[in-house]
Amino acid sequence: MAVADDYGDAHLELTSRGNLQLRGISDLQGAADLIVDAGLIPTPSHERVRNLQQSALTGRRGGLLDARPILDALDVGLRADAGLAHLPARFLFGIDDGRGDIVHEAPDAGLVAIDGDALEVVIGGIPTGRTTTREQAAQTLLAVAHAFLVDRTDEWRIEALGEHPKLDEVVAALDPAPPHRVPSAPTEPLVGWLDQDDGLVALGAVVAHGRMSSRIAEFLAAIERDIYFTPRKEIVVVDLSEGMADTVLRVLAPMGLIFDANSPWTRVSACAGSPGCDKSRADVRGDLELLLRAPDVEITDHEHWVGCERGCGSPRGPHTRVEATDDGYVRQRI
């Protein structure tokens, strides 16, 4: 929050990778010093490659297994491996506990749970028909990452590779998967009051444009509970008692957190647009807000509004792209 207030535009933006982004930095070194002092970069040599996703409610609500120990082991192994510091910054690791929320984000090196112990290996977003175990899961993903480095020239993602003999070798050494169905991507947002399996409560919310004020972030931090940011730009606060959850709702809803799963803000997103981006042909965020204020507007499908053909911030799954052109907005099903 201090970085956003002192050196940025006093906001934190959620990204389609489940990250937080700061804009308008006036003093890069000053901002970096604060981030480092806060302990947010435990291994500077690997920070750009620690692109790790897991099912947000894993081990707390639903899912076939608890993916948290796997992700922890993966992070430790990744940071301890000097060679993997050379991964491109877009390379994505993902662990799906069987509910389908991460596998459909097309991780380069990913896993999706089949049962309480076995996970299917996913490479470049494609299930391989091969499995690993919980105990070997982290090492399997690290082996995939090493194989990618052997096979690549200058590609950023596995899906861009042509031939990949080393990756094929790693996959071939794994056990075949039993017949099963890869889960579909969830359609309902993680928004609202979410009962956990242990009797505690998780609260899910969104913010307009995925843009959270530093003031809201400060109040979230004061709850002193784990917070997860999803690729769908949801904010999930976990391990709350019912009384704590009720207080969070009463305090943060008036500040701009949206806890209503039926809100159109759970189904729309947008790039930065103008004036924040010189390439944008329109103020897409402003135009989107005007649309949502109009009476009788109903958005039933996910829409992503963009200011040019680059489509920055587009979600991985099916959606309607609303693209600004010199002649107005054009809609296209993606």
pTM: 0.92
Judged by DSSP in three states, 176 sits in strand
Q: Show contacts of 143-149: CB within 8 Å, 24+ apart.
A: 143/170, 144/108, 144/109, 144/170, 145/78, 145/84, 145/87, 145/91, 145/93, 145/108, 145/109, 146/83, 146/84, 148/87, 148/91, 148/108, 148/109, 149/83, 149/84, 149/86, 149/87
| Residue-wise pLDDT tens digits, 8-38 | 889 999 998 899 998 888 888 988 888 888 8
Give the tokens for residue 296. 């009788």
Measured from the Cβ of residue 147, the count of other Cβ atoms closer than 10 Å reads 21
Q: Is the pLDDT of residue 7 over 80?
A: no
pLDDT digits (tens, 9 = 90+) for 255-287: 999 999 999 999 999 998 999 899 999 999 999
Rounded Cα–Cα distance for residues 324 and 46 (Å): 37
pLDDT tens digits for range 134-185 = 999 999 999 999 999 999 999 999 999 999 999 999 999 999 999 999 899 8
**DSSP 8-state symbol, 171:** H
What whole-number distance in Å separates Cα of residue 112 and Cα of residue 54? 10
pLDDT of residue 313 exceeding 90, the answer is no
Domains of the chain and any CATH numbers? 44-176 (3.30.413.10), 192-263 (3.90.480.10), 267-333 (no CATH)
Residue 168 has a CB neighbour count (10 Å cut-off) of 14
